[in-house]
Amino acid sequence: MNLAAIDHQPTRAFVLPLARTRLSFRLLAARGDLRECLLIYWKRNDPYPASRREAALALRYRSAQRDDFRAAVSFVETAHYIRYFFKLRGADGQEMYLSEYGFTVQPPADGFFEFLYANDRDVLQTPDWAKGVVYYQIFPDRYAVGNPKKALHAYEPWESVPTAQNFLGGDLAGIRARLPYLADLGIGCLYLTPIFRADYNHKYATIDYYSIDPDFGTEEDLRALVQGAHALGMRVLLDGVFNHTGVHFPPFEDVLRKGEASEYKDWFYASGFPLTMQPLNYACVGDYAYMPKLRTGHPQVRDMILDVMLHWIRRAGIDGWRLDVADEVDGCTWHFIRMRLKDAYPDALLLGETWGDAARLVADGTQMDSAMNYLFRSAMVDGFAKRRLTVSQLDERLQRMLMKYPDAINLGMYNCLGSHDTPRFLTEADGDVQRVKLAVAFQMLFPGSPAIYYGDEVGMAGYNDPDCRAGMIWRQQDQNLQLLAWHRQLIALRQKSAALRLGDFRTCVCDDARMLYGFNRTLAGETVTALFNCGSQMQSVDIGSSGRAVDLLAGNTLDLTDGRQTAPVPVPPYSVKIIQIWEEEDNA
């Protein structure tokens, strides 16, 4: 038994309240090293060992180096003064016990781990509506024109090549007019990139957080959009750009004018006065001089951010916020805002942007509810668009990713294939629609919340910003209708299956030689098995199940028994099979 690889600490990374009466326990070990992991637990005031109970931790995720064992344990009262240790059985048959004092060959007599108390705010709570929801990201200037009479810019034709400077005229009224299309697609939540008064077509250089940019309409247009979306069962997130502002943000302009005498000088990170762009002597996001960074830990800045977030929830009825470069904002600010905002609106979603490991934002449930999962995107690009991963390498990337977060967080991660900051997935795939279809299927079947970047569903292409921000293709003759139907079909399957939205995940096939990958999603007697043939040869897979099964794409019932043996499932080249299996009821 590799004791050096075994890890458990009595911290939130390993013991997390899922409810005041339910705790999640976790233990890490070397891959394949443990055959069994038992939690031995009891209440401090109860007699030991007479009152002790056992719970088996299941192998939940497996990377190339480590196994991740987890279990959720329920209690009849608020979990408090819970003492525990672990009984471990190795693959070699060796038995060891793990307590606060370390490893022993006999059950420990003292030195137990202890969980003290599940307070209200200790509980990991994320909005139920956001677990498994399908997102749709919109860049407002490029989606649809609702008010063609606007004359704020010299608008270019809708089919123009996108640039960092040009405007096409999309607006909130245009989005509202397309809500029936989005509802028919099966979208559950819209995410709009910034709509507040700001410089540039992207609006990430904010001038006024309390007014809608005239390019997009009015506050009444926003309310009408939100109300229309709600009527069709969709939620709406706005983009909160609070890490930085634009240079025309009034407090920054005040510092430009008054220098060190400005009452707002401490809102920003100045290394000298007066402020200058050449040489640059103030901090900026991405070192872009036109977007100065806010000192988000400053009490006045922190209060302003909270006020803006509450303002638009109250005034427009939005359902939460996507928070730009959330990982560069002072962590104490997010703790403060989450506490205050959730007191008033517990169902409001906080979705943070980050490009790597999102654990700092989401792992302990004290900042964000979810994060943009670019680690997922990179795995899809490398695994399906570029085809430069074996299936075992793909599995390794995904397993390592899932191990970073609690299961409840994994179910709500924003799993995107693209965004306004990336090349479009069809372009990443060199125009190969079949690769895109496989990636979309994977996205819709994998744990988390699939996110569609506007136009990807109809086959839009484009290199990185600004090329990925072209006008939405609305003419049917220019759309890839087969790809659109594929999205609709898979979203509909997801909506009908609780296992696909909320079920556990387990890899069931990982065969490099045959280029086959498969996983199960399981919940309450329902198992959905997804089988991906990434190669050019017909393959067949014995999924180890028998009984009632349905091919969800073909819509036909499968007979998984062949006499007394289970029958293999055929999987054609470069395709996916989705099999739904229900446990047979025992009528004995």
Query: What Cα–Cα distance (Å) separates residue 564 from each residue in 25, 542, 546?
Result: 40, 14, 10
- 542 noted as active-site residue: no
Work out the average pLDDT over 28-37. Answer: 98
Q: What are the distances in angstroms from CA 78 to CA 100, 120, 564? A: 23, 10, 49
Q: Given a cut of 70, is residue 384 above it in pLDDT?
A: yes
Tokens of 392: 């075992």
Mean pLDDT of the chain: 95
Q: Is 433 exposed, middle or buried (0-12, 13-18, 19+ CB in 10 A)?
A: middle
Q: Which one of 151-165, 376-390, 537-551 scores highest in mean pLDDT?
A: 376-390
Q: Does 259 have pLDDT greater than 60?
A: yes
- pLDDT score for 100: 97
Structural domains in the chain plus CATH codes: 3-122 (2.60.40.10), 246-295 (3.90.400.10), 499-582 (2.60.40.1180)
Which residue of the set 68, 199, 353, 396 is catalytic? Answer: 353
Confidence band for 547, pLDDT divided at 50, 70 and 90:
low
By three-state DSSP, how is residue 207 classified? strand
Q: What value does the mean pLDDT take over residues 541-553?
A: 82
Give the tens place of pLDDT for each residue, 71-114: 999 999 999 999 999 999 999 999 999 999 999 999 999 999 99
Query: Which pair of tokens denotes residue 569?
Result: 């499932």
pLDDT of residue 568: 84
Model confidence at 583, pLDDT cuts 50, 70, 90, reads confident
Q: DSSP letter string over 406-460?
A: -HHHHTT-EEES--TTS--HHHHTTT-HHHHHHHHHHHHHSSSEEEEETTGGGT-
CB 139 within 8 A of CB 179: no
Question: Is 133 within 8 Å of 189 (Cβ atoms)?
Answer: yes
pLDDT(357) > 80: yes
Mean pLDDT of 229-253: 98
Q: What average pLDDT does the segment 530-540 reach?
A: 96
Percent of the chain predicted with pLDDT > 70:
98
Task: Provide the 3-class DSSP secondary structure of residue 521.
Answer: strand
Beta bridge partners of 114: 83
Nearest to 573 by CA among 541, 532, 542, 543: 532
**Helix (H), strand (E), coil (C) string for 21-76:** CEEEEEEEEECCCEEEEEEEEEECCCCCCCCCEEEECEEEEECCCEEEEEEEEECC
Alpha-carbon distance 434 to 576, whole Å?
Answer: 11
Q: Report pLDDT for 500.
A: 97
| Contact predicate 423/388, CB 8 Å | no
- Catalytic annotation on 369? no
- Per-residue pLDDT for 70 more than 70? yes
Q: What is the Cα–Cα distance from 65 to 81, expressed in whole angstroms?
A: 34
Cβ pair 106, 436 in contact under 8 A: no
Per-residue tokens: 144: 């649809």
Neighbours of 372 (CB within 10 A): 28
354 contact partners, CB below 8 Å, separation of at least 6:
325, 326, 327, 360, 361, 371, 372, 374
Decide: 291 and 284 in contact? Cβ < 8 Å: yes
- Position 7 pLDDT exceeds 50: yes
In 3D, which of 196, 449, 218, 471 has the Cα closest to residue 324?
196
Mean pLDDT of all residues in 388-407: 97
The CA distances from residue 531 to 392, 567, 571, 583, in Å, are 14, 15, 7, 19
SS3 557: strand
Q: Which of residues 569 and 230 earns the better pLDDT score?
A: 230
pLDDT of amino acid 588: 40
Other beta carbons within 10 angstroms of residue 256's beta carbon come to 17
pTM for the whole thing?
0.96
Do the bridges between strand 575-582 and strand 526-533 make them parallel or antiparallel, or are there none, so unpaired?
A: antiparallel
**Which member of 324, 407, 428, 456 is catalytic?**
324
Q: What is the mean pLDDT of residues 257-282?
A: 96
Tokens representing 413 are 């991660």
| 182-207 burial code (b ≥16 CB/10 A, e <16) | bbebbbbbbbbbbbbbbbebbbbbbb
How is the beta sheet containing 135-138 ordered, strand by strand?
370-371, 349-352, 320-323, 235-240, 189-192, 135-138, 449-453, 414-416
How high is the pLDDT of residue 405?
97
- At 138 the pLDDT is 98
Distance CA 260, CA 280 (A): 16
pLDDT at 587: 44
Confidence of residue 557 (pLDDT cuts 50, 70, 90): confident
